[in-house]
Amino acid sequence: MRHDIRVAGFGGQGMLLAGLLIGKAAALYDGKEAVLTQSYGPEARGGASNADVIIDDDPIDYPLITRPDYFVAMFQEAYERYRPVMVKDGILLIESDLVKPWPDEGPYRGIPATRVAEELGRRIVANVVMVGFFSGATGLISAHAGEQAIRNTLRPRLVDLNLKAFNAGYEYAKKQEAS
Amino acid sequence: MSDQERVLTGSHFLLGDHACAEGAMAAGCDLFAGYPITPSTETAERLALRMPAVGAIFLQMEDELASMSALVGASLAGARAMSATSGPGFALMMENIGMAAMMEAPCVVVNIQRGAPSTGLPTLVGQSDMMQCKWGSHGDYEIVAYSPSSPQECFDHVIKAFNTADRWRIPVFVMADELIGHMTERVVIPPADQIPRVERKRPRHKPGDPSFLHCLAEDEDLVPPIVHAGEGYRVNFDSLTHDEKGYPATFPDPHDRLVRRLVNKIRLHTDQIMEYEEIFLDDAELAVIAYGSTARSARRAVNEARKDGIRVGLLRLITVWPFPENKVRELSKQVKAFVVPEVNLGQMSRETERFTSLPVIGVNHAGGVMMAPDPIFDTIREVAKNA
């Protein structure tokens, strides 16, 4: 089954890396098919920035997303821009300190990813906290695959910190479910 | 990434542009000469990192004219040489692409197509250089052009391109598009000893043998053996019309003989070069012809139409040039119409028309956005209803 995922935030929040880790985890370590595309061009610099990932059990033909089934919003402007195109009953995940959902928003799940990252010592890994949260909350990528993607993407000296970030996000999702 | 290896054997999640670069690495590309241009820059960027680490040469040139000159020079010195560009840069290469054809200097150019004409849409997709790559330089000559539909094919087609260039002594193009160049997908890179490699035909004569005519094609394939600069042969490569010795012979008869051979070495051997994929064509009453990123949408549209009971198939071009003219002739006896979607205003649809008397219906967009499945599906339905 095909799952269309949009990860969106502010330029500089590392949305492309988040998308790359999700796609790579699925395509190389979970035995799925995955495609990553990104908004590309001057309009993508500053303001809302997004990465689109498709995960499927079968080969993927059309590689673009028009209406995401999963929407990860890391920033208010990104939420406001892309929320209207999410499918009805889609899964919404937000950075709960940076996104204030509209009053009529349906069910969603949130994590203060930037704060969690700061507690780990580097706010820059908020994107990877969110990838861990995505893994824990949706199950679309396994924790093992997420960790493998981190090990085989980031420079060696950054791996430990990012694994911690991933696991923090993942555990946050699992605790949220339990409570 | 281990920067020290020529061939990064294994599974990777790779950008199309980077897959082009890895194809060049795996094919044993000795020299890259180019000038960065969106949306092909990532190919050059990766090779700038990768090539020096394995002792190969990366040259950033002053422009695309010089890039193409460097390719011809390197090629005739025995190197596997490649450049990567997009439409505006490709236009600047045209003069020396003709020189490569005339001197029979094998080389590879990757064109990640963007919206055109002119500087057009630098960051957005187009497929409108299909005729430029065939006819862009002056004179009669033949080239081969591949059209990848995925990052995996970017990798595979660059390797094919080097082998085809060396086999037939021609410039070969990998005509990708921005969508494919900028999408990331799994790319499986085989072990180094499983990368196919076709070697250039080399002379039987020793250097200094006065009976050796280095531009004489004695074999059935019409390809003369290639001598490399620096091996001791006294050879002359000329862009003027030349005789079998390689010396200028600017007269009608040698000209007709040479140009006819340059053209025929490809036209008479298209069966050995042409590649395409057939999907659901066996019982098809309608045939879609598509290539590059558009082929992905065409596949979706054909699958959807099949679910609706429409007997439609897809001829997916792997080489756009040579165009599978005999396949179109053969399908013309079976189907009722052709549908040709492409992100240009009708280039390969026009080529299709040359080989069939059936209706050829284009689905077109001038560029800036990938062809979506819906307009192809709608056209298939419409044509099926009226057929």
- A126-150 residue pLDDT tens: 999 999 999 999 999 999 999 999 9
Residues 6+ apart with CB under 8 A from B22: B8, B12, B14, B46, B50, B155, B187, B189
The pLDDT assigned to B26 comes to 98
In a domain, B257, yes or no: no
The pLDDT assigned to A41 comes to 59
Separation between Cα atoms, residue B150 and residue B127, nearest integer Å: 15
pLDDT tens digit at each of 387 positions of chain B: 456 899 999 999 999 999 999 999 999 999 999 999 999 999 999 999 999 999 999 999 999 999 999 999 999 999 999 999 999 999 999 999 999 999 999 999 999 999 999 999 999 999 999 999 999 999 999 999 999 999 999 999 999 999 999 999 999 999 999 999 999 999 999 999 999 999 999 999 999 999 999 999 999 999 999 999 999 998 899 999 999 999 999 999 999 999 999 999 999 999 999 999 999 999 999 999 999 999 999 999 999 999 999 999 999 999 999 999 999 999 999 999 999 999 999 999 999 999 999 999 999 999 999 999 999 999 999 999 987
In a domain, B229, yes or no: no
B34 in Cβ contact with B67 (< 8 Å):
yes
- CA A126 to the chain's CA centroid: 10
B175 in Cβ contact with B198 (< 8 Å):
no
Mutual angle of helices B16-26 and B151-168, in 10-degree steps: 40
Domain boundary among B191, B217, B244: B191
Cα–Cα nearest to B298, from B371, B196, B365:
B371
The pLDDT assigned to A138 comes to 98
Q: Count the neighbouring beta carbons within 10 Å of the beta carbon of residue B231.
A: 12
By residue range, what is the domain housing residue B341? 277-386
Q: Which of A64, A66, A153 is the mutation pick for testing B, counting most B CBs within 10 A? A: A64
Strands B31-34 and B57-60: parallel
Separation between Cα atoms, residue A106 and residue B100, nearest integer Å: 63
Separation between Cα atoms, residue B198 and residue B144, nearest integer Å: 16
In a domain, B116, yes or no: yes
In a domain, B185, yes or no: yes
ipTM value, please give it.
0.96
Say if pTM beats, i.e. exceeds, 0.90: yes
Separation between Cα atoms, residue B205 and residue B227, nearest integer Å: 10
- How many angstroms separate the CA of residue B88 from the nearest CA in chain A? 17
Same domain flag for B138 and B14: yes
Helix (H, G, I), strand (E, B) or coil at B268: coil
Number of domains composing chain A: 1
By residue range, what is the domain housing residue A24? 3-178
Query: Quick one: which H or E segment has residue B162?
Result: helix B151-168
The pLDDT assigned to A45 comes to 58
The pLDDT assigned to B228 comes to 96
Beta bridge partner(s), residue B314: B279, B288
In a domain, B208, yes or no: no
A131 in Cβ contact with A137 (< 8 Å):
no
The pLDDT assigned to A40 comes to 63
User: Quick check: A43 pLDDT over 60?
Assistant: no
Separation between Cα atoms, residue A144 and residue A138, nearest integer Å: 14
Read off the CATH number of the domain in which B123 is found: 3.40.50.970
Q: What is the pLDDT of residues B324-335, one digit of tens each?
A: 999 999 999 999
Domain boundary among B191, B214, B237: B191
Measured between beta carbons, which residues in chain B are less than 8 angstroms from residue A41? 122-124
Separation between Cα atoms, residue A133 and residue A123, nearest integer Å: 16
Which CA distances in Å does B259 have to B115, B214, B224, B236, B253?
A: 33, 16, 14, 18, 10
The reply to whether A41 touches chain B by the CB within 8 Å rule is yes
User: Quick check: A48 pLDDT over 80?
Assistant: no
Same domain flag for B286 and B181: no
B337 in Cβ contact with B387 (< 8 Å):
yes
- How many angstroms separate the CA of residue B114 from the nearest CA in chain A? 12
Helix (H, G, I), strand (E, B) or coil at B89: helix
Read off the CATH number of the domain in which A11 is found: 3.40.920.10
Per-window interface: A 74-133 vs B, CB < 8 A: none
Beta bridge partner(s), residue B85: B111
User: Quick check: A44 pLDDT over 60?
Assistant: no
Tokens read off for B338: 């052709």
User: Quick check: A65 pLDDT over 80?
Assistant: yes
Domain boundary among B140, B157, B191: B191
Number of domains composing chain B: 2
B174 in Cβ contact with B20 (< 8 Å):
yes
Residues 6+ apart with CB under 8 A from A85: A66, A67, A68
Mutual angle of helices A143-151 and A126-138, in 10-degree steps: 150
With an 8 Å Cβ cutoff, are B184 and A23 in contact?
yes
Read off the CATH number of the domain in which B343 is found: 3.40.50.920
Tokens read off for B25: 């690495």
Separation between Cα atoms, residue B248 and residue B236, nearest integer Å: 9
- Cβ-based interface (< 8 Å): residues of B facing A: 11-13, 39, 122-124, 178-179, 182-186, 293, 296-297, 299-300, 303, 370, 372-373
The pLDDT assigned to B4 comes to 84
